[in-house]
Structure formats: structure tokens, C-alpha cells
Amino acid sequence: MSDQQEKMRQGAEKLLQNEEVGYVIGWGTTRFADRTTPIFIDTPAAASDFVWNEYAVNSLAKYLLDDKYPDKKIGVFVRGCESRALNRMLKDKQVKRENLYLIGTPCDGKKAGRCSLCRERNPLLYDVLLWEPVPNVPAEGRFDRVRAIEAMTPDERYGYWGAVYDKCIRCYACRNACPVCSCRECYVDMSRTGFQGKQHSRSDNQIFGVTRAFHVGDRCIECGECERVCPMDLPIMGQTQKILKDINELAGEYECGLDAESENFLGAFDLDDKDEFM
């Protein structure tokens, strides 16, 4: 057993013994050797179920949205990606910091494609750090895929995204896993939205894709969870990254979730803005 895994188990056990938290969210085994699953542990004895290995890939932050009014603090293991999600969720007032006990676990990368773009392996906020921070690895090619799509002709681009959304089965896993997609009731689950059909067609799938991209685009922390969970392997981060690339070019360096204070670009406004609707 790894030293880090033992520290996680002991840390969670102590928090539960002292009743500092009601439960702790982490990763547990599955029947597949190369998969883990998020687990919720509420007794000290069960803390030994937590695992920390190269397959602990799921982001845990999203689960905090399911328990906004806990009786006791919620303990959760936090890496760089979870902490960036939490910064965004705190800024969006989706969680309260006083309801959380953040157990920092610097991450040396997991077996997931989403980790290839990771620029922050260490938690940016935590209550306790279980081991020393790890060096960040410069992630190259942040917007490479967007540049490749931009280089296409309009017809090629339409064909590209049309082919992507022809395959979408609208399972909404991308929405469900995204830590910054936080509406309690999503418009796609309403039966009478008027402009979004339930049928699977290219146009309705595309409306979902574009709406999702704009709802989260300027708040996207680039964690890659949406693509990781997509059962059709669709390259949908290309949409949110296009929005982020444009913001970077229009307004200077922009990255989400590095702190809990920064405004999101599309949500910020000034009464002196020139737009006539103001």
C-alpha cells in the first residue's frame, strides 16, 4: 500500500472519529482493476476503503452540489483540478467554504487523457495538505485543437461539428460531470422549452452542444471531465476552449478557477459599457 494512500485513510479516519465531518468523499475500488469510483464514507472503520492510485481520475468536486445544506462539514480530497472547480463554485455561490473540509492531495497525474492539459497539480485551497506539493509540468498545446478547427473553411467546420453532433446520444453525461454546470434544473430536462426538441437530430443535438458551451464557456476550468465521461468520445472541449481562446486574445491572459474572486468574463459588466441594452 502506498504511503500516500495510507495518509489519506488515516486522515479521513481521524476526521470521522473526531466528528469534524459527516462524511468524506474520495475514491474506492470497483470490480475492474483499472477503474475507481467516487465513494462516500461516513464511519471511521470504512476509511480503509479509500484508494489512491493512477486510476483515481474522477473529479470529486461535482458531488458537493448534491448536498448544499449538510448537517456537518463535508470532507473531500482535493487536487489541483478539484480546487480550481471549488474556486469557481465558491465564486458562483454554489457551495459555502464553511461547509467543507478540504483534504489536499497533490497529484502526480492519473491515467486519463484529461490530465494531459493539467497546469495545476497542487490544490490551490485546502484545510490540510497530506504531503508535499509536486512540481507542475508545463502543459503544451493548450489551444492546438482550436487552431486546427479555426484553420478549416466554414463548410469544413460545419461538417466537422455536424459529424460530431450526429454521434451525440444526448445522455447529458458531459453536463452531469461538469463541476461548473450547476443549474439545479437544466433547460434540457424541461418538457416544453419550445426551442429544444427531445428527438435526436443533428440540429437539436447542436443546439444542446452550443448552449452547453456558452453556459460554461467562460467559467470552464479545462478539467476535461466532459470529454472523459462522454460515451461517444466526442471532442466537445473544443467548443469551450474556443471561447477561452477568444477571451485570451480579446482581453489578455484568462484562466478560470485559479482563485475564488475573479469575475467570469461573460458575467462581468459595467454600467458604463457602451451596449444600448444597459
Q: Which residues bind ligand SF4 (CB under 6 A)?
A: 168-174, 177-181, 216, 220-226, 230-232, 234, 236-237, 240
| Owner of C-alpha cell 434540457 | 188
β partners of residue 39: 26
- Residue 219: CB minimum distance to ligand SF4, A: 7
Q: Are 55 and 111 in contact (CB under 8 A)?
A: yes
- Residue 225: CB minimum distance to ligand SF4, A: 4
Write out the three cell numbers for 42: 461516513
- Residue 5: CB minimum distance to ligand SF4, A: 26
Nearer to ligand SF4, 8 or 221 (CB): 221
- Residue 217: CB minimum distance to ligand SF4, A: 8
Report which of 257, 249, 190 is spatially closest to residue 222, judged by C-alpha positions. 257
Nearer to ligand SF4, 46 or 220 (CB): 220
- Residue 189: CB minimum distance to ligand SF4, A: 12
Q: State whether the Cα torsion 65-67-73-75 is positive or negative.
A: negative
CA distance 122 to 103: 12
Nearer to ligand SF4, 43 or 203 (CB): 203
Q: Are 10 and 26 in contact (CB under 8 A)?
A: no
Nearer to ligand SF4, 46 or 177 (CB): 177
Q: Are 202 and 161 in contact (CB under 8 A)?
A: no
Nearer to ligand SF4, 129 or 229 (CB): 229
Nearer to ligand SF4, 5 or 240 (CB): 240
- Residue 171: CB minimum distance to ligand SF4, A: 4
Please calculate the CA angle 222-228-233 and round it to the nearest 5 degrees: 115
β partners of residue 164: none
CA distance 205 to 165: 6
